[in-house]
Amino acid sequence: MAERAGVVEARSVPQLRGFASTDKSNDWRRGRTGSAAVHEPELRYTTGDLLRLKPVSRIAPPADYAIRRATAGDLDALVALEQAAFTTDHLSRRQYTKHLRSDSARVFVAMDEGGLLGKALVFFHKGSDIARLYSIAVADRARGRGIAKALLAKVEQAARSHGCRRMRLEVSQSNPSAIALYERLGYHRFAEHREYYENGEHAWRYEKRLID
């Protein structure tokens, strides 16, 4: 069969195994029922077609969870995840209760039928266009499914809605998974905090521009 000539619109190219289309209309993170169907290719692809597809390290499964703002009913689960996910600097129930009520904070949770999968806490400061991601964690059973990535996207969207142009965060220098997460999502290291955590660990400071 002769190779198909001409440009094939990325939109019309079915998803290939191991590749993610840059076409956002097929973005599985858009909701619980977002389609992640991986079709067997029916067309032959030219090199040009393949260059318009972005490689990914794994195939995104269907989103079987939802992200929403946390409520007082989530407090027990939030505190339990806090204890399980961190070895130091735990947020207390009292702090969560305060943040849930505060105008200058947002707590988001990722939930499925089994309960809490992950959470993220972001702060806004009056008169500042810099939001601060204070905490993010995903339950052991749910790691590696893109939940932190989806929570961060939600937090960044909330920050933009607050008029914030940048997001900043601190991360322990001995936390390679979190460092990889932030760098993967476009955060860049700009400073260091020595002995930032209660256990004496040093932190890197990261920033991402949210609006050009």
Ligand X SMILES: CC(C)(COP(=O)(O)OP(=O)(O)OC[C@H]1O[C@@H](n2cnc3c(N)ncnc32)[C@H](O)[C@@H]1OP(=O)(O)O)[C@@H](O)C(=O)NCCC(=O)NCCS
Residue count at the site for ligand X (CB under 6 A)? 20
CB nearer to ligand X: give 8 or 181: 181
Tokens of 55: 């490689």
Q: Could you say which residues in the range 17-46 bind ligand X, by CB under 6 A?
A: none
Q: Does 155 bind ligand X (CB under 6 A)?
A: no
What is the C-alpha to C-alpha distance for residues 132 and 193, in angstroms, rounded to an integer? 15
Nearest in space to 203 (alpha carbons), one of 88, 100, 120, 31 = 88
CA of 149: how far to CAs of 29, 108, 155, in Å? 10, 13, 10
| Rounded least distance, CB 163 to ligand X, Å | 24
| Rounded least distance, CB 189 to ligand X, Å | 13
What is the C-alpha to C-alpha distance for residues 102 and 106, in angstroms, rounded to an integer? 8
State phi, psi for 19 to the nearest 5 degrees: -130, 145
Out of 59, 75, 153, 181, the only residue in the binding site for ligand X (CB under 6 A) is 181
Binding segment for ligand X among 39-47, 97-105, 173-181, 186-194 (CB under 6 A)?
173-181
Q: Does 53 bind ligand X (CB under 6 A)?
A: no
CA atoms within 13 A on the CB side of 88: 13
Out of 149, 162, 168, 202, the only residue in the binding site for ligand X (CB under 6 A) is 149
Tokens of 183: 């760098």
Q: Does 55 bind ligand X (CB under 6 A)?
A: no
Helix (H, G, I), strand (E, B) or coil at 207: strand
| Rounded least distance, CB 11 to ligand X, Å | 23
Q: Does 147 bind ligand X (CB under 6 A)?
A: yes
Q: Does 131 bind ligand X (CB under 6 A)?
A: no
Q: Does 78 bind ligand X (CB under 6 A)?
A: no
CA of 37: how far to CAs of 26, 106, 207, in Å? 9, 32, 34
Binding site residues, ligand X, CB under 6 A: 57, 85-86, 136-138, 143-149, 171, 175, 177-178, 180-181, 184
